[in-house]
Amino acid sequence: MRREYKKDDAVSPVVGVMLMLVVTIIIAAVVSGFAGSLIGNAEKPPSLTADVMIKNDGTWGGSYFDIIIQGVSDPIPTRDLKLITSWRKANAAGGAEVVGPSPPAEANYVYEGGARVSHAPYGFGPGVSDYGFAGTFQPEQSWGNFSLMAGTRVHNSPYGWNAAYGGYGVSFDTRYEYTVGSVWLGGADRDALMAVLGEEWYKLRAGDVVNVKIVHVPTGMTLLSKDVGVEE
């Protein structure tokens, strides 16, 4: 009589399905862990809150661009930030993008025909290692060379002093105008308000609106976006 034997090493369908499930679960766990690692290693953008003010009263002494940092998640180097402004009205449009740090040849604040250069806007207070006022500005306070912290102030005014020196709104008769003088030579000269708000910023009047953004360049995230009403 012929005998038939069952092979001991045969795998039942149930066991095969279970093995496939185990392999699938292991692969899924590996993929999930890898994806989680990528997400965990991705740079997270910082956060900030700030007040922004823009004034134009037609004179160099009463006009300015001002940001006061109220709070940050961590100190934020301005070398990682792009400041963007934009505005439009019936007779003009403008705005600018500022990144830093910038070598002197690419500085955005130029006067005395290029004899004096710096990179606006300037920082003051916490996060700025050294700073000065009224023409004694230090390289450390140029955009790109300081960090934003709670209490940091980012501030600039147009160039001006008197009719002899020239500049913006240096007399009652030249409000809302630039006058050529011994220091402000016109032409290629470009002050901090031009650098931050555009060449025709002086056409802004009370009630006009300027959009101000701060973008974190490494992550591409917008940290601040405000529509700021111009004051006089």
Closest CA to 196 of 103, 93, 86: 86
> Using the 8-state DSSP alphabet, how is residue 159 labeled?
-
State both tokens at 180. Answer: 């050529």
List, for residues 156-183, the tens digit of each pLDDT value: 999 999 999 999 999 999 999 999 999 9
Q: What is the pLDDT of residue 111?
A: 84
> Cα–chain-centroid distance for residue 141?
15
Give this prediction's pTM.
0.79
Dihedral sign (CA 29, 34, 37, 38)? negative
The separation between CA 182 and the C-alpha centre of its own chain, rounded to angstroms, equals: 33
Closest alpha carbon to 224 in 77, 69, 119: 69
Helices (H), the chain: 13-41, 192-197
Distance (Å, rounded) from C-alpha 18 to C-alpha 56?
A: 75
DSSP 78: G
Beta partners for 117? 110
Beta bridge partners of 51: 68
Q: How far is residue 20's CA from residue 161's CA, in Å, rounded to a whole number?
A: 82
Pair of tokens at residue 122: 């300037």
Q: How far apart are CA 95 and CA 112, in angstroms?
A: 24
Say which range, 23-27, 87-91, 148-152, has the weakest mean pLDDT. 23-27
**Residue 46: cis peptide before it, omega within 30 degrees of 0:** no
Please determine, for residue 41, whether its predicted confidence score (pLDDT) is greater than 90. no
Nearest partner of 70 among 136, 128, 149, judged by Cα? 149
Q: What is the mean pLDDT of residues 188-207?
A: 96
- For 87-130, the pLDDT digits (tens) are 999 999 999 999 988 887 788 999 888 888 889 999 999 999 98
Q: How far apart are CA 87 and CA 110, in angstroms?
A: 23
